[in-house]
Copies of this chain bind each other. A is one copy, B any other.
């Protein structure tokens, strides 16, 4: 059976400007692979309402799941929840369940639930909340769209709670061989091997570092025995290669 598919949408001016380096994408990619959900596409857009709406529509239509990161805090540039609601045709307003979570959190901290913080209780109708064990303000799942925070510690905590609730498939297994030869030297053999073994996918990822160039050849499949078999053939073809 085919594994469920997924896309990610990162909302982040600060990544597009080069000020910060995205960390959530890499974390999500690894977690989904382990869970047997196939991440097929990632988009990064700026904090612009129309762009978020358009991307949410396209990606929630195109894949089984859409995970978003960023833009759900209390400041003026946090516009993800509204954009997701509009994209999905849902009403949005302050919800009592989210407000109660925030109220309890700020009471514990001796801080006031002011108007800005209350914005984080704006949750689309019909959405279920995603727990935020770090700072209380919840994410939410609206149909197949899972809206999470951009701060990596919070994103990871939210995902850890969410992922076990989603049906995954068999994890995709992979093994790789590091071959210190130019891709041009190994391409013909790799192409023939890939054609002979449609039950696996074979990728060649060249590197060039400290004067050494070569390629990491990665064999992937949900069928571990198939991966073993093809890696065995590869090792015979390139006996000098290292794991």
Tell me whether A41 and B44 are in contact in the complex, defined as CB-CB below 8 angstroms, given that A18-B26, A183-B73 are known contacts. yes
Instruction: Report A9-20 CB contacts with B as 1/0, cut-off 8 Å.
Output: 000011111111
Q: Assess whether A116 is in contact with B188, with CB atoms less than 8 Å apart.
A: yes
Q: Assess whether B115 is in contact with A77, with CB atoms less than 8 Å apart.
A: no
Q: Does A95 contact B (CB under 8 A)?
A: no
Q: Which of A202-243 contact B (CB under 8 A)?
A: 202-209, 213, 215, 218, 220
On chain A, the number of residues with a Cβ less than 8 Å from chain B's Cβ atoms is: 74
- A207 — which chain B residues lie within 8 A by C-beta? 151
A-B contact pairs, 30 of them (CB 8 A): A13-B201, A14-B203, A14-B205, A15-B29, A17-B39, A18-B29, A18-B30, A18-B39, A19-B176, A40-B45, A40-B51, A41-B46, A41-B51, A73-B183, A73-B187, A74-B187, A75-B187, A75-B191, A75-B204, A76-B187, A76-B190, A76-B194, A76-B195, A77-B204, A114-B185, A115-B188, A116-B183, A116-B184, A116-B191, A134-B208
Using a CB–CB cutoff of 8 Å, the interface residues on chain A facing chain B are 13-22, 25-26, 28-33, 39-47, 51, 73-78, 111, 114-117, 119-120, 134-135, 150-151, 153-154, 172, 174, 176, 182-188, 190-191, 194-195, 201-209, 213, 215, 218, 220
